Chain A
Amino acid sequence: MNGWMNKIVKVDLSTGKQTIINIDKDVRRKFIGGRGLGLKLYTDMCSADIEALDKKNALIFSTGPLTGIIQTAGRYQVTSRSPLTGTIIDSSSGGFFGANLKKAGFDGLVITGKSDNPVYLKVTEEGIEIKDAINIWGKDTHETMKILKNELSSNISVACIGPAGENLVPFASIMNDKDRAAGRGGVGAVMGSKNLKAITASGKKQIPVNDPEGLKKMLSTINTLIDKNPVTGKSLQLLGTSVLVNVINAHGMYPTENFKRGVFNDAEGTSGEKIAETILQGRSACFKCPIACGRKTKTSKREGEGPEYETVWAFGAQLGINDLETITEANYTCNELGLDTITTGSTIGCAMELYEKGVFPEKLVWGDSSNLVKLVEDVAYKRGIGKDLALGSKRLAEKYGRPELAMQVKGMEIPAYDPRGAQGQALSYATSNRGGCHMQGYLISPEILGSPVFMDRYSIEGKAEIVALFQDISAAVDSLVLCRFLQFAISIDTFKDMLNIVTGLDYTEDELLKVGTRIYNLERKFNSEAGFTRKDDMLPARFLEEELSEGASRNRVVQLDEMLDRYYKLRSWDKNGIPSEEIKRELGI
Chain B
Amino acid sequence: MKNFDVSKLAKMIDHTELKSNSGEKKIKNLCDEAKQYGFISVCVNPANVEFAKKQLEGSDVLVCSVVGFPLGMNTTEIKALEAKKAVKQGATEIDMVINVGAMRDGKHDYIREDIRRVVQASVPAHVKVILETCYLTDEEIVKACELAVEAGAHFVKTSTGFGAFGSFEHHVRLMRETVGPDIGVKASGGVSNFKDAMRMVNAGATRLGTSAGIVILEGAKLFKYAPEAWLEPEIPCHTCPARSASMAKLPKALYQYYTNMCLKCDHREKYNKFYE
Contact = CB atoms under 8 A, between A and B. Distances in A.
A491 B232 contact: no
B271 to A, nearest CB: 11
Interface string B25-36: 000010001001
A460 to B, nearest CB: 10
Contact of A450 (B193, B229, B273): B193
Contacts of A494: 218, 221
Contacts of A509: 221
A225 B218 contact: yes
B238 interface: yes
Interface string B140-182: 0000000000000000000000000000000000000000000
A464 to B, nearest CB: 8
A462 B229 contact: yes
Contacts of B218: 225, 452, 489-491, 494
Contacts of B228: 462, 465
Nearest to A555: B273
A529 interface: no
Nearest to A221: B36
A221 B29 CA distance: 12
Nearest to B218: A491
A465 B214 contact: no
Contact of B219 (A221, A453, A455): A453
Interface in A247-263: none
A225 B214 contact: yes
Contacts of A463: 229
Interface string A442-467: 00000000111111100101110110
**Main SS of the interface on chain B?**
helix
B258 interface: no
Contacts, number: 75
B215 A491 contact: no
A561 interface: no
Interface string A253-287: 00000000000000000000000000000000000
A465 B234 contact: no
Contacts of B273: 555
B196 A461 contact: no
B226 A465 contact: yes
Contact of A455 (B212, B215, B222, B232): B232
B232 A459 contact: yes
Contact of A469 (B33, B196, B225): B225
A225 B29 CA distance: 12
A453 B194 contact: yes
A461 B193 contact: no
B195 interface: yes
Contact of B226 (A224, A450, A469): A469
Interface residues of B, number: 26
A492 interface: yes
Contact of A224 (B194, B195, B214, B235): B214
A513 interface: yes
Interface in A532-547: none
A228 B211 CA distance: 9
Q: Which of B196, B229, B238 has the most CB of A within 10 A?
A: B229
A462 B214 contact: no
Contact of A453 (B196, B225, B235): B196
Contacts of A224: 29, 33, 214
A228 B225 contact: no
A493 B4 CA distance: 14
Interface in B207-231: 212, 214-215, 218-222, 225-226, 228-230
A445 to B, nearest CB: 11
Contacts of B229: 455, 461-463, 465-466, 469
Given A228-B214, A465-B228, A454 B234 contact: yes
Interface residues of A, number: 29
A235 interface: no
A491 B230 contact: no
B212 A228 contact: yes
A459 B232 CA distance: 9
B230 A462 contact: yes
B232 A461 contact: yes
Given A461-B232, A465-B228, A466-B229, A454 B238 contact: yes
Contacts of A229: 215
A454 B225 contact: no
A513 B192 CA distance: 26
Nearest to B216: A452
A469 B225 CA distance: 7
Given A452-B194, A454-B195, A456-B232, A492 B222 contact: yes
A452 B193 contact: yes
Interface in A222-249: 224-225, 228-230
Contacts of B234: 454-456
Contact of B215 (A221, A228, A555): A228
A494 B221 CA distance: 9
Given A229-B215, A453-B219, A489-B218, A462 B232 contact: yes
Interface string A490-513: 111110000000000000010001
A513 B193 contact: no
B214 A491 contact: no
A507 to B, nearest CB: 15
Contacts of A454: 193, 195, 234, 238
Contacts of B215: 228-230, 452, 489
A492 B221 contact: yes
B225 to A, nearest CB: 5
A494 B235 CA distance: 31
Interface string B95-119: 0000000000000000000000000
Contacts of B33: 224
B234 to A, nearest CB: 5
21 contacts: A224-B29, A230-B215, A452-B194, A452-B215, A452-B218, A452-B219, A452-B220, A452-B222, A454-B193, A454-B195, A454-B234, A455-B232, A455-B234, A456-B232, A462-B232, A463-B229, A465-B226, A465-B228, A466-B229, A466-B230, A494-B221
Given A224-B214, A462-B226, 6 more contacts: A225-B218, A450-B192, A453-B219, A454-B195, A466-B230, A494-B221
Interface of A: 221, 224-225, 228-230, 450-456, 459, 461-463, 465-466, 469, 489-494, 509, 513, 555
- The 6 closest A-B CB pairs, nearest first, are A452-B219, A462-B229, A453-B195, A465-B229, A491-B221, A465-B226
